[in-house]
A and B are shown apart, each in its own frame.
Chain A
Amino acid sequence: MLQIVWHGRGGQGAFTAARLLGAAYALGGMKENGRTDGGEPEKYALAFPSFGPERRGAPMRAFTKLSDVLIHDRSEIARADFVVFLDETLYAGERDALVAGPDDYAIAEKFRLPVINTIMLGRLAKKIDMPAEHIAQGIRLVMPGRMHEKNMLAVREAMK
Chain B
Amino acid sequence: MSRQFISGNDAFALGILLAKPAVISAYPITPQTTVVERLSEYVESGELDAEFIHVESEHSALSCAIGASAAGVRTFTATSSQGLLYMAECLPYAAGGRYPIVMMNANRAIALPWNIYGDQSDSLSQLACGWIQAYAEDAQEALDFALMSYYIAEHPQVAVPFMVNLDGFHITHTYEIVDVPTREQADAFLPPYETENRIDFARPKNMAFSAGPGHNKIFRRNHHKAMLRSSEVIVECESRFAEFFGRRYSGLVDAYKTDDAEFVLVTLGSVAGLARDAADELRGQGAKAGVLRLRYMRPFPEEAIRKALAGAKAVAVLEKDISPGKGGAVFAEVSGVCESVRLNAIGGLGGEDISKESLRSVFAMLAEGKEGELWL
**Chain A residues packing against B (C-beta within 8 Å):** 19, 22-23, 26-27, 30, 33-36, 40, 43-49, 51-53, 70-76, 78, 141-142
Contact = CB atoms under 8 A, between A and B. Distances in A.
Contacts of A48: 169-170, 173-175
B173 A72 contact: no
Interface string B268-281: 00110110110000
Given A19-B175, A44-B177, A46-B174, A75 B353 contact: yes
Contact of B355 (A23, A27, A43, A75): A75
A76 B3 contact: no
A52 B168 CA distance: 11
A121 to B, nearest CB: 14
A51 B351 CA distance: 9
A53 B30 CA distance: 9
Interface in B101-133: 116-118
Nearest to B170: A74
A48 B5 CA distance: 12
Interface residues of B, number: 28
B173 A51 contact: yes
B232 interface: no
B2 to A, nearest CB: 5
A76 B5 contact: no
Nearest to A74: B170
Contacts of B47: none
15 contacts: A19-B5, A22-B175, A27-B4, A27-B5, A44-B177, A45-B177, A46-B175, A49-B173, A51-B118, A51-B173, A70-B273, A73-B356, A74-B273, A75-B356, A141-B4
B179 interface: yes
A74 B274 contact: yes
Nearest to B278: A72
Contacts of B4: 27, 34, 141
Nearest to B175: A47
B173 A74 contact: no
B322 to A, nearest CB: 20
B116 A36 contact: no
B236 interface: no
Given A27-B5, A52-B116, 15 more contacts: A22-B5, A22-B176, A27-B4, A34-B2, A35-B2, A43-B177, A47-B176, A48-B173, A51-B169, A51-B173, A52-B117, A53-B30, A70-B273, A72-B276, A141-B4
A34 B178 CA distance: 11
A36 B179 contact: yes
A43 B3 CA distance: 11
